[in-house]
Amino acid sequence: MINDGFVRYSREQEEGDIDDEESEEAESQLSRLISALANSLHYVTDTFLWHFENDTTESRGKIVTVSRKTYRLNRISKISPLELLNRKINALDYDDALVIAKTYDLDTDVIYQAQWQDAEVSESAIHDYLDKIHDREWVLSACIRTFSNKPDLLRLLLNYGLKDTDILDKILNNGASSNKDEIIKLLREYLFKVNSEVKEFLGKLHISEKDIIVCKYRHYFFKYLDRLRTYEVIVEEKKKHDIENGSMEDFEDNDGWVTFVDYASTFVDDYAVFRDLNIAALAMDYATEEFFKGLNVLFTHHGSETLPYRFTILEQIPETVSPDDYESFLPSVILNSNGELVERLWHEQPWREIDWVDNPILKQRILPNVSEELEVGGIKLNPVEYPAQSTLITKWYIDRAHKIDSVSGQVDKALELIHHGIRKNVMNLETLEENLDMLAKLVYDCYPNLDSVSKSMSLKEFEALTEAEIIRVFLQYTDEKRIVSDIKKFIIPFLRILPSRRARLNHVLKDNIIDKIPISEPESKPLDLLYNYILDISSSNLKLVCTIFEASKPSLDAQERIIVSDEDLARIALACLYGNSRTDNWQDMTRIYECLPIFDEVSDESFDINSLQNYTPYEFFSLFKSKNEIQLQGIIDSLELHLNAAEILTRYDNAVPLCWFLQSSNDYILQKQLCIQLARRSGSGPENDEDRFKNEDEWTLLLKEILNLHENGKGVLSKISTEEIYKIFVSSLLSYGKFNLARKIILPTDQPQPLDITVAEQLVIDASREFFDNAPSGNMYHGYMKLAYECLQILPISDTLQSEIEFIEATHMLTEQKVYHQPGILIHPMQIRLAPNKLDLISRLLSTNEDAYYDSKSIMELAKKLGYRNDKVAEVKVMAMLADAALRDSNLNFAYNMCIDIVKIIKTISNMRNNDKKETLLDSVKDIAWRICYEVAKQDTFQNLEKQMILMGYALAMCPSDQAADILNIWRKIDNEYRLELIRKCNEKSLEKPKLVKPVVERVESSLLTPLLKGDRIKSVFSRFF
C-alpha cells in the first residue's frame, strides 16, 4: 500500500530477484535426495513386506494416480518511496526509478550516478549522466576514479572534470587587499612572480575546505592528463624498443614466431599504476632497464619532477652500458651571462602551460602534507641544484668513472664517459682522462692475455700509484723481446705528458678544487723516472738494462733511441755497471760497455774514479750527473781496465763486482786478499789427483795474468809490490805441492831471482809447517808429513832448514815410539809442535817404553832434533831422565854412569871462560845434577859403596846449603858402612894390617871437585862433623 493505494507484486518481487542458477541447483539437490529415499524404501518393501501383497509381478508393478493442487500466496506490504527508489536502482530499472523520483520529488543524482557507474565511458554517457548530476564534487571524484580502456575517452573525461575546477577568481575574491584586482591580474599573467605583497596576500587568503578539495581535484586532473600523454608516448617508444631489442631473441625462442606485448589490453591496469608513480623513481627504473627513449620523455615532459634528481637517475644506468648510448643525458657545461661555468639546461617541453594551481604558495596551502619519496628501493633521492655549478659536474663525472671501473672493471667505458665530459666542456677531467687512458693501455694493450695484478687493478689503486710505480707496473712483466717496444709505446708517452700533468695537479692542489686525485711528489725530471727504473732493475736483471742501452746506441737515429742524450746514456750505464754487485753477468756488462759513447780525449780535467767508494746505483748516477764529457770519458777508460781485470778474475773463479775495484783501489789489504785468493783457488789440494791446471804452463800463465793485473803499479793490484806477488804465488805453489815449479820460479836460470833466498827460505818453512800442522800422523814417509819433509828440500839446506828437517825427523821418531798425549790417544804432530816443553815428550817416551833408555844415543839425538842442539841444560836434563829411567828399572850402574857423564859436562862448563851466562848455566845444570846424583846414591840396593859415596859426594858438593846437612848425614852413614866393609875384608884375609884409607871426601875433593867446590864451604861443613 502506498498512500492508501495498493501495489500488487509477487513474492519474488518482494524478496528481490533470486539467482536462477542457485534456484536450479537447490531444486536439483532436493530431487536427488527424494529419489534416493524412494529407492531405499522400495527396496525395503520389496524385501520384507512381500508376503502382505500379491505375489504376482503385476500386483507389484501397478501404478497409483495421485492428484496435486497448486496454491499461490500473495502479501500486501507498505514501503517508502526512497526505499522503493533504491530497489529500482538496484534492479537496474532506471526508468521506473526516474518516474518514482519525479513523482515523489526525490533526488535524481543517485539514479544518474548509478547509471554512470554501469555505463561505459563515452561522450554521450558524460552528457547523459554527469551533466545531470547536481553534486559536482561527486562528479569530480567520478572523473578521477573512472577508467576507460581507450585513452581518448579517458582524456575526455579528465578534461570534463577539469572544467569545473577553475575557481581562482572565487578564491582570490576572498582575499582582503587594497589592490586585490592588480594582484589577481598578476597571478593570472605571471603565476610564479611572487613579491612580498603577493606572498602576504596569498598567505592571508581564506580558502574553504570545499575549495581546497576542488583545487586538489584540479591538481590531479592536470597531473593525470600529463601522465596520460606521457604514458601514450612511452607506450609507443616501448613498442619500438621491443621491436629493436627483443624481436630476434623472441623469434628464436618461439620457433620462428614473434610475440609482442599487447599494451592496449593492459592499458587500464598499467595506467592506473603509472599515473600515481613517482616519476623520479620511474626514471630510475628506465635508467636501469636502459630504456633511454622513455627516460628522454620523462626528462623532456616532466623536468620539474626528474631533473632535480638527474644525477641519482643517471647513476642507475648499468655500469656496463656504453656511455655513447646515453651521451645525450650526460651533463654539459656552458658559460652563463655572468661569465660563470654552469650546467647546460635540459630542453624541456611540458605538456601544458603552468596553471595557477601550480603556484608554490597556493600549492602549499592545498597539498600541505604531500611530500616526495626520499628513498626508492634503498636508494636515496638526493636533489641537486639545477643548473649545477661546474665543480659539482666535475665531481659527478669523477665519481661515475670510478663507479664504472669498480663495479664493471671496464676501463674503456669509464674512459668513454670522461671523453664525453671533456667534449661537454667539463673542467678538470684531463688528469683522470690520462689515468684512465693509461689504465686502459695497461689492461687491454700491455698485458691483454695475462691474468695478473695489473689486469685486476682498479682506477682507485692506479691513482694511488706514484709516477715511479706507474712505470714499474707497466714494465713488471716485460722481457727482453718487448722491453724496447713497451718503453716506446707506454713509458715515453707518459713521460711526455708529465710536465703538463704536474702543472695541472699542482693547480688542483693549490686551488683545492677536488680531493679525488692524489698528488704524488714529482721527480726532478720526467726522464729521471725512466732512469731510476733502469737503475732499480740493474741489480736483478741486467739483460733488460742491456737491451735498453742497445736501443739507445749513439749510432742510432735520435728518433729511434730510448735515451737520446749521450751524456745521460754514459751516466746511467756507468751507474748500472758500478752499482751492480753481481759477478755472473760479465757478458752483459761488456755489451753495455760497447753501447757507451766516445767523447773527447781525456785532459787534466779527467776524473779519477778510483777515488769513489761503494755506492748504490742511484748514488753513482747522482754523482755522475755533475761530470762533464771529458770526465765521463776518463771513467769509461777506467771501466775498460776494470772489465778486463774482471774477465781475468772470472776465468780463474775469483770474480768480484766492478765496485770492488773502486773499494780496493787504495786498499792494500783487499788487493792482497784478492791476489791470495786468485793464486790459491786456482789449484786443487796436494792430495787431490784432479788438478785444475793440467801442466806447469797454465800455472805460469796465471802468474803472468797476476802480473798484468799489477801492470807495473798502474793496474788493479797497484798497491802490491812485484816481490809480494811472487811471494803469494810461490806460497800457493808450495801449498799445492808444486815443489818443482816453485824451485824454478825461486831459482830461475834465465833471469834474476825474483825473491831473496832468505825470503824464499821462509816461504818454504811456512809451507812445510802448514803441511806439518795438517798432518794426521807424524809418519814422514806418508801424506802431509812427507810433503812437509820434501818441501824443505827444494832449496839449498841451511841451518834453519836443517832444524826444520830434524824436527820432522824427531816427530817421526816420537810417532814410531807411540808416544801418547793422553791414555789411549797417540800424540798428534800439532801437539808436538805446540808442546811448551818438548823435553816432556822425551819423558813420556821413557815412561812409556821401559827399555828405551838403553838406546841413550838415540834419545840424546832426539832431544837435539826437537830443537835442543847445543843446549847443555837440555842435554843434562835428558841425561837425568835417562838416569831416572834406569833407576826405575833398578839399573844402578847405568844410572851411575849417566851421573858421571853429567858431572863431566859440568866440569866442561866450569872450564869455560867466565861470563854471566856461565854462572847461570852452571846454576841450572848443578840443580839438575845434585838431584839425580842424590836420588841414585841414596838407593839401598846400591852394591858399590864406593860409587855410592862418590855420587853422594857430588850431590853434597852441588846441593844448596839448606840441603847439605841431610845429605851429609846420609854420606856419613855410607862412609861408616864403607869403613866397616874394609875392616871386614881385612879380617877375612888375615893379611897385613890394613892401610889407612884416605877419607873419601878428600879423595873426591882432590880428584874431581877441586875446581868445582868452594874450599871454605867444604871445610866449614866438615869441621862440624869431624
Q: What span, in angstroms and rounded, lies between the C-alpha atoms of 649 and 478?
A: 33
Least confident of 61-70, 213-222, 962-971: 61-70
Mean pLDDT for the chain?
82
**pLDDT tens-place string over residues 597-642:** 998 765 555 556 656 666 888 889 989 998 899 889 988 988 999 9
**Bridge partners of residue 342, in order along the sequence:** 334, 389
> Which three-class secondary structure state does DSSP give residue 861?
helix
**Bridge partners of residue 5, in order along the sequence:** 2
Mean pLDDT for the stretch of residues 446-474: 81
pLDDT at 769 over 90: yes
Q: What span, in angstroms and rounded, lies between the C-alpha atoms of 928 and 331?
A: 120
Contact 501, 431 (CB under 8 A): yes
- For residue 389, the 8-state DSSP code is B
Quick count: other Cβ atoms within 10 Å of Cβ 432?
A: 25
Picking from 175, 106, 167, 163, the residue whose alpha carbon sits closest to that of residue 139 is: 163
**pLDDT tens-place string over residues 378-412:** 788 888 998 999 999 999 999 999 999 999 889 99
**Three-state secondary structure along 178-234?**
CCHHHHHHHHHHCCCCCCHHHHHHHHHCCCCHHHHHHHHHHHHHHHHHHHHHHHHHH
Mean pLDDT for the stretch of residues 57-61: 47
pLDDT at 253 over 80: no
pLDDT at 787 over 60: yes
What are the distances in angstroms from CA 228 to CA 147, 218, 271, 482, 823?
A: 12, 15, 7, 64, 121
Mean pLDDT for the stretch of residues 850-872: 91
**Three-state secondary structure along 420-452?**
HHHHCCCCCCHHHHHHHHHHHHHHHHHCCCCCC
Question: Which set of grid coordinates corresponds to residue 783?
Answer: 801424506
For residue 49, what pLDDT band results from cuts at 50, 70 and 90?
Answer: very low
Q: What span, in angstroms and rounded, lies between the C-alpha atoms of 928 and 955?
A: 10
Q: What span, in angstroms and rounded, lies between the C-alpha atoms of 28 and 24?
A: 6
Q: What span, in angstroms and rounded, lies between the C-alpha atoms of 645 and 834?
A: 42
Q: What span, in angstroms and rounded, lies between the C-alpha atoms of 923 and 929?
A: 10
Phi, psi (5° rounding) for residue 714?
-115, 0
Dihedral sign for Cα atoms in the order 213, 219, 220, 225: positive
**pLDDT tens-place string over residues 980-1023:** 888 888 887 754 544 444 444 444 444 444 433 443 444 344 33
Half-sphere exposure of 117 (CA within 13 A, CB side): 13
Write down the residue that cell numbers 798497491 correspond to: 719
pLDDT at 417 over 90: yes
What pLDDT score does 40 carry? 58
What pLDDT score does 354 carry? 85
Least confident of 2-6, 528-532, 764-768: 2-6
**pLDDT tens-place string over residues 267-287:** 889 999 999 999 999 999 999
Q: What span, in angstroms and rounded, lies between the C-alpha atoms of 220 and 199?
A: 24
**983: CB partners within 8 A, 6+ apart:** 994
What pLDDT score does 246 carry? 60
Question: Which set of grid coordinates corresponds to residue 561?
Answer: 733511441
Q: What span, in angstroms and rounded, lies between the C-alpha atoms of 160 and 143?
A: 8
* pLDDT higher at 712 or 571: 571
pLDDT at 198 over 90: no
- Rg of the Cα trace of the chain? 66
**862: CB partners within 8 A, 6+ apart:** 810, 813, 814, 842, 845
pLDDT at 901 over 90: yes
What pLDDT score does 367 carry? 80
Picking from 907, 920, 816, 810, the residue whose alpha carbon sits closest to that of residue 860 is: 810
Q: What span, in angstroms and rounded, lies between the C-alpha atoms of 731 and 752?
A: 19
**384: CB partners within 8 A, 6+ apart:** 308, 309, 310, 311, 392
Mean pLDDT for the stretch of residues 159-185: 78
What pLDDT score does 6 carry? 37
pLDDT at 559 over 50: yes
What pLDDT score does 519 carry? 46
**pLDDT tens-place string over residues 669-694:** 999 999 998 888 766 555 555 566 77
